[in-house]
C-alpha cells in the first residue's frame, strides 16, 4: 500500500546555494545532511550509476520534504536552455501559500525570477504563478481561495502550522 509522497529529489551543482535558497527565500527548514564520500557498490546499483559520490540535504516544510543532491561523481549537466514545461519528466514542485501576492513580492525581492505576476482565477477559486530556483527548477506558488477544492488538505496543514507558531509565543 502506498502511503503518500515522502520527498522530491532535486539535483544541483551547488548544494549550499540551493540549501540557502530553499531555507532563506522559500522558508523550508533544514533537517539533515548526508554524504557519500567514496563509491559504494550497493548505491551504484540502486541508482544505476557508476562511482557515485556526493552529498544530500533534506529540507522540510509542513509534511513536504525535498532532498537536495549534489553529485561529485559522476557529474550531471543542467537542463538545456530550451527545456520546456511541456518536456517529459518532472516539471515543477507546487507550494501552497496563504497569500500569493505577498509571497510573490517577498520572493521576487529576494531575487527569485518569476515568469509573470500571480494569475488570479476566481472561477477556479485559486491563484498561481511560476518561478525558478537558482538552478532553473520550476516552482509554482499556489493559493487556494475556495477551501472546497481538492487541495483543502494542504490548507488544514497551513492552519495547523499557524496554530503551532501562535501557541509558541
What pLDDT band is residue 1 in, cutting at 50, 70 and 90? low
Q: Is the pLDDT of residue 2 over 70?
A: no
Which of 25, 9, 8, 17 is CA-nearest to residue 113? 25
At the topology level, CATH places domain 91-169 in 2,3-Dihydroxybiphenyl 1,2-Dioxygenase; domain 1 (3.10.180)
For residue 169, the model assigns a pLDDT of: 41
Cβ atoms of 40 and 53 closer than 8 Å: no
**Burial letters 26-46, b for 16+ CB under 10 A, else e:** bebeeeeeeebeeeeeeeeee
What mean pLDDT is predicted for residues 77-103?
86
What mean pLDDT is predicted for residues 77-93?
83
**Assigned CATH for 1-77:** 3.10.180.10
In this chain, the answer to whether the domains covering 1-77 and 91-169 adopt an identical fold is yes
The per-residue pLDDT for range 109-160, each reduced to its tens digit, is 999 999 999 998 877 778 899 999 999 899 999 888 876 665 555 555 566 6
Question: Which is higher by pLDDT, 87 or 162?
Answer: 87
What mean pLDDT is predicted for residues 47-54?
94
Q: What sign for the dihedral angle of Cα 147, 6, 32, 140?
A: negative
Compute how many other C-beta atoms are within 10 angstroms of the C-beta atom of residue 118.
20
For residue 3, the model assigns a pLDDT of: 66
Per-domain boundaries in the chain: 1-77, 91-169
Cβ atoms of 45 and 23 closer than 8 Å: no
Q: Is the pLDDT of residue 78 over 90?
A: no
| pTM for this model (two decimals) | 0.77
For residue 153, the model assigns a pLDDT of: 53
For residue 152, the model assigns a pLDDT of: 52
Calpha distance 107→24 (Å, rounded): 10
φ, ψ of residue 112 in degrees (nearest 5): -75, 135
Amino acid at each position: 500500500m502506498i502511503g503518500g509522497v515522502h520527498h522530491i529529489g532535486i539535483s544541483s551543482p551547488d548544494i549550499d546555494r540551493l540549501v540557502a535558497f530553499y531555507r532563506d527565500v522559500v522558508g523550508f527548514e533544514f533537517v539533515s545532511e548526508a554524504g557519500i564520500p567514496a563509491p559504494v557498490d550497493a548505491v551504484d546499483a540502486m541508482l544505476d550509476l557508476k562511482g557515485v559520490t556526493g552529498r544530500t540535504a533534506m529540507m522540510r516544510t509542513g509534511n513536504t520534504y525535498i532532498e537536495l543532491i549534489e553529485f561529485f561523481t559522476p557529474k550531471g549537466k543542467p537542463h538545456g536552455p530550451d527545456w520546456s514545461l511541456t518536456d517529459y519528466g518532472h516539471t515543477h514542485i507546487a507550494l501552497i501559500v496563504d497569500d500569493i501576492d505577498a509571497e510573490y513580492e517577498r520572493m521576487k525581492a529576494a531575487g527569485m525570477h518569476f515568469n509573470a505576476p500571480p494569475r488570479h482565477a476566481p472561477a477556479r477559486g485559486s491563484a498561481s504563478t511560476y518561478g525558478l530556483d537558482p538552478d532553473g527548477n520550476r516552482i509554482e506558488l499556489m493559493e487556494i481561495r475556495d477551501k472546497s477544492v481538492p487541495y483543502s488538505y494542504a490548507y488544514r496543514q497551513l492552519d495547523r502550522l499557524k496554530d503551532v507558531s501562535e501557541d509558541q509565543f
